[in-house]
Amino acid sequence: MDAILPSVDFTPPLSEQESAVALETNGRTAPPGNDPRTAPANAPKGFIVRAALSNYGLWTALLTPGIITLAIRVEQVAGADFEAVYAAVLSVGATIGMFGNPVWGRLSDRTRSRFGRRRPWIALGAAAGVGGVAVVAFVPQVWALVLGWAIAQAGFNAALAAMMASVPDQVPVKDQGRVSGAFGAAVTGGILTGSMIAAITQNTTLMFMVPCALCLALAAQFALTFKDPQVDARGERFSLKEIGTTFVFNPRRHPDFGWAWLTKFLLVSGSLAPMAYMVYFLADRLDLSATEAGGIVGLLFTASYALQTAVALAGGWFSDRIGRRKPLFTASGLLAVTGLLLMAFAPNLPAIITAQLVLTVAGGLFAAVDGALVFQTLPNPAEPAKDLGIANLANGLPQTILPMVATAILAVGTGSNYTLLFCVSAVFSLLGAATVLQVRSVR
């Protein structure tokens, strides 16, 4: 619609100083946090730590079932049909999470309440997510698994969308690398915590509810202390007709955001295959059973995620220190290419471990600056949550596409063609390292 309807600008001409600021912000009028004229000198005291802890709690509650306990619960409830039921539960949940995130984000942008516009979605989203997980944990019916996981995905994604949007609301550009690194570390930290909980107890209910208790405590500490400013300007009504436009942006009007989205999509696409297929790859390459391979992968990934968390935190700090994002993106992509090619042709376990080490550093560098690049290229910084939701699609779409593409690639030749799969993944990573150079407004 923006390209069709003419617009008339009644604003007065910009002064020389304002014109320079407009150029620095890519021609946008930015709210506090992204506008050099009004941004605070630093992030609010304690904000980054509290936000990262809340993010860590949300991801722990979401990823522990997604990676470990949901599969166990589905087998307990569904019996012999567990594979089909598990696929259905995951598909419904992933679809709601991926497409719900931008919608909740846009609703958060439009929220006008005495509690602010982010706090209600963080608090209620976390509570709804925990409620959905409780349905999965306590109701032994297939329909409850599907419904409960759908509610959990909707709730946690609503909270995560508002949480991400609070960063450009509150944090100036110079500190956003640290936030990006901390949020990236929160994801890997959530995976590590879930793995440790699963290792400590075999009680499925505890494996579901302990992460949820952690989530509620950490979300509460943020929501109760977070100074979420009220927006006085009356927001536009949100109609059902706008839901479709929630998933759309104009890359011609906002080319930097378009290039940032494409970079994110390509690098995520390149990184998925080793994570998703590592058990089967090890079993095939080293002639192991799936159980034996799974034990090795568990140890390998635990060490990898611990290292990736450290790299993400250090990389975010370093990015803020030098005031640059793109060099870390490019390094991440080139390291990913190296690691994927090493993995593709690895003849033994030491070579595979070496390849995984390189991929881990690449993943940590990506996590360190991923959020910062998106924050700094948002089309409308005054309403960031909707566009952050669109950016999140660059995470979700590769996960939806990978199973179909990987199945076709693995079937080439005599079958189990992991060499070709990882080489194709390397091409995606190389393209991602190149496309980030097209972003002009971020160094």
pLDDT recorded at residue 239 = 63
- Decide if 337 contacts 328 (C-beta within 8 A): no
pLDDT recorded at residue 4 = 30
- Decide if 177 contacts 189 (C-beta within 8 A): no
Q: What is the pTM of this model?
A: 0.74
Angle in degrees, 0-180, between the axes of helices 326-344 and 290-322, rounded to the nearest 10: 160
Q: Which residues contact 152 (CB under 8 A, 6 or more apart)?
A: 62, 65, 93, 128, 129, 130, 131, 132, 133, 136
Q: Can you list the residues of the chain whose pLDDT is less than 70?
A: 1-41, 229-247, 382, 385
pLDDT recorded at residue 362 = 96
**What residue ranges define each of the domains in the chain, with the CATH number in brackets?**
38-230+240-248 (1.20.1250.20), 250-443 (1.20.1250.20)
pLDDT recorded at residue 22 = 35
pLDDT recorded at residue 7 = 27
d(C-alpha 298, C-alpha 195), whole Å: 9
- Residue 11 has a CB neighbour count (10 Å cut-off) of 6
pLDDT recorded at residue 203 = 87
- Decide if 191 contacts 161 (C-beta within 8 A): no
d(C-alpha 6, C-alpha 424), whole Å: 44
pLDDT recorded at residue 303 = 87
pLDDT recorded at residue 11 = 30
